[in-house]
Amino acid sequence: MEQGSKTREQLLTELSWRPIPGCPGRLVHDGLSERSVEDLAGLAVPPKVRSSAVARDPLMIVQLSDGGLISYCKPDGRYLHTLATPEAFLRKLRQLGCEP
């Protein structure tokens, strides 16, 4: 799993986020984004694309020093970015079957 150079706190100021109902500690970006995962997380190269039996779209997962970013790759090339606290990030990774 890739390690982003940005923090959750930094990403909170870069995009508009809203809480995900029923998912404490997780936020979703308002709408689909054309901004790449590597640009958003401060990576030199794109993270590895993963699949999950419980997710409709391929995933890009980046661990941050204070949480994590899970982005769903949509067929049209845009992303649905989600941001989480450390606890919520690990919980979602377990749900997706993508243990760190």
pLDDT value for 100: 66
Q: What predicted TM-score, i.e. pTM, was given to this entire model?
A: 0.94
What domain range includes position 48? Answer: 2-96
Structure confidence by residue, pLDDT tens digits, 2-52 = 888 999 999 999 899 999 999 999 999 999 999 999 999 999 888 999 999
Number of domains into which the chain is organized: 1
User: For 51-82, what is each residue's pLDDT tens digit?
Assistant: 999 999 999 999 999 999 999 999 999 999 99
Residue type, 92: K
Q: Are 3 and 63 in contact (CB under 8 A)?
A: yes
| Confidence at residue 42, expressed as pLDDT on a 0 to 100 scale | 92
Compute the distance between CA of residue 26 and CA of residue 18 in angstroms, rounded to an integer. Answer: 9
